[in-house]
Structure 1
């Protein structure tokens, strides 16, 4: 349960150390002091802590590393501000020897394909949290839909970019309103 515990539960996490878990993801609430609290918990346990919700940005992840708040980072592209921000976090983590993994946030085929490409970069050590389009969407607005192989793998692009693109017919079908915005003075 992400963010469901407090430092008062440190003994519970210490008891889990004997199971040699790969990580414990975001055990403490993102309450403004979460990086400080995660650093304190990480000092008390052997199991690596993975920050998730506390890793809002490059600056937050940098602070987490400096404080010793984590030994793994979950990068959710939609949460951290896109592909460029995700790559910056990945590079920071790689420079500090901190493994990463791609977390999902209900991406469409387009977002999922970009996440799959992101997960191929060095230092993404753990399996990515990527789901087929049909898992979340009856009609994904991106085509082709993202699918998993029988082994749970996603095919990545063999050329620059991704194969997925918006489906104009579905976009038109599901659009409920149109709006145009112009910058002042134009």
Structure 2
């Protein structure tokens, strides 16, 4: 299979309400949609989910889009691709830039699964039907507002809730939610907001029966996370630390964590994500699928990965209307009884809403590759 054309759509999608983490507040999501067309006329779609500023990783929407056009797409020009996982190997000559790599690689997985007349879920070895999902809740302005937000999501059917925390907004919100919802599958996400000096606060979180504490320390702090994990019972989950299978192996050898958040975009695509998943399964690490405020294309890829039976812990794959008033796909994803249904169509199984795409689109670029 040859890729003959690429179209990159630059979008700006306003959020229904601002989302606050320890990094700051976000009111809109900048992203790109990539459409690749094969020599057989099959179209595949990927989503570039970097943020507009480099607060999550070094990449931004604009820098990643530049890498896609100037360095990555030329590597597959006139290349006869035999398998989807071949792309990961081709891109190894470029250091880092995982999100830029991912948007191309996932679009090619979409093409290959369509060419085999299979859903991407099936093509990846996943199951069809309903999968359990969770929801991530940003830092709220008051505890009452937090309680109302959690209750609303429980009413919608979500069975796992993740609270964003930071120093000064940690023990009290967790204590409040655990008291009101004693059976809730509850976890927290610090987004690297803590350090060793905060050990007493982190130890206090142990008493609230949390499923895990996600990314308490910095993005290269494998040793510090190992130091913390020895002192608390709650499993540590690594997110920003993990860019590749080698990072997971390092975390495992150092005992830095007991859980791994797999984000397709953060690890460079589906091939690396599957390798990480297999390693976690073979070595007793909890693995689950994280989210990046995806629109419908990225969400569809996440659901396909999350359909693998090894990912039993509910991931951050909320309904289409969680962040956006109107998504960019026609058949939006909904939550029913805490579950979301895997698409059954070929490939990612969703169709772009061209009106929404044009509404959110700031510009587009066409790249001819044949």
Structure 1-normalised TM-score?
Answer: 0.85
Question: How many residues end up aligned between the 2 structures?
Answer: 181
Q: Of 232, 236, 239, which residue of structure 2 is paired with 1:49?
A: 236
Q: Secondary structure at the match of 2:362?
A: coil
Deviation at 1:57, TM superposition (A): 2.0
Residue ranges of structure 1 left out of the alignment (5+ in a row): none
Tell me the equivalent position of 1:124: 311
Helix, strand or coil at the partner of 1:93: helix
**Shift of residue 68, structure 1, vs aligned partner:** 0.6
Q: Structure 1 segments of 4 or more deviating over 4 A? A: none
Per-residue CA deviations over 1:68-119 (Å, capped at 9, x if unaligned) read 1000111112222222221111111111110111111111122212212211
Q: Following TM superposition, by how much is the alpha carbon of 1:159 offset from its aligned partner in structure 2, in angstroms?
A: 5.7
Partners of 1:109 and 1:103 lie apart in 2 by 15
Q: Does 1:39 align with 2:226?
A: yes
Partner of 1:156: 342
Within the candidate set 97, 109, 113, 2:296 is matched to 109
Alignment of 1:138-149 (within 5 A): 138-149=325-336
Q: Root-mean-square deviation (CA), in Å?
A: 2.1
Q: Please identify, of 51-60 and 165-174, the stretch whose mean Cα deviation from structure 2 is larger.
A: 165-174
**Take 1:170 and 1:159, find their aligned partners in 2: how far apart are those partners?**
21
Q: Which residue of 2 aligns with 1:26?
A: 215
The 1:39/1:160 distance shift into structure 2, 3 A limit, reads farther
CA distance 1:134–1:16, shift in 2 (3 Å): closer
Q: Does the CA-based 8 Å contact 1:144-1:163 persist in structure 2? A: no
Q: Name the CA shift for 1:179/1:20 in 2 (closer, same or farther; >3 Å).
A: closer
Q: Distance in 1 between matches of 2:273 and 2:302?
A: 10
Structure 1 partner of 2:203: 14
Q: Secondary structure at the match of 2:224?
A: helix
- Distance in 2 between residues matched to 1:135 and 1:107, nearest whole Å: 10
The answer on whether the counterparts of 1:42 and 1:49 sit within 8 Å (CA) in structure 2 is: yes
Asked whether the 8 Å contact 2:343–2:350 carries over to 1, the reply is no
Question: 3-state SS of the aligned residue for 2:204?
Answer: helix
- The answer (yes or no) to whether the contact 1:94–1:122 under 8 Å persists in 2 is no
- The answer for the alignment partner of 1:75 in structure 2 is 262
- Structure (1 or 2) with the greater strand fraction: 2
**Alpha-carbon distance between aligned partners in 1 of 2:205 and 2:327, rounded to the nearest angstrom:** 40
Structure 1 residues 4, 133: CA separation in 2 closer, same or farther (over 3 Å shift)?
same
Superposition TM-score, scaled by structure 2 size: 0.45
Over 3 Å counting, the alpha-carbon distance change for 1:6 and 1:160 in structure 2 is: same
User: Which structure carries more relative contact order (alpha carbon 8 Å, separation 6+)?
Assistant: 2
Residues 179, 69 of structure 1: alpha-carbon distance in 2 compared, 3 angstrom cutoff: same
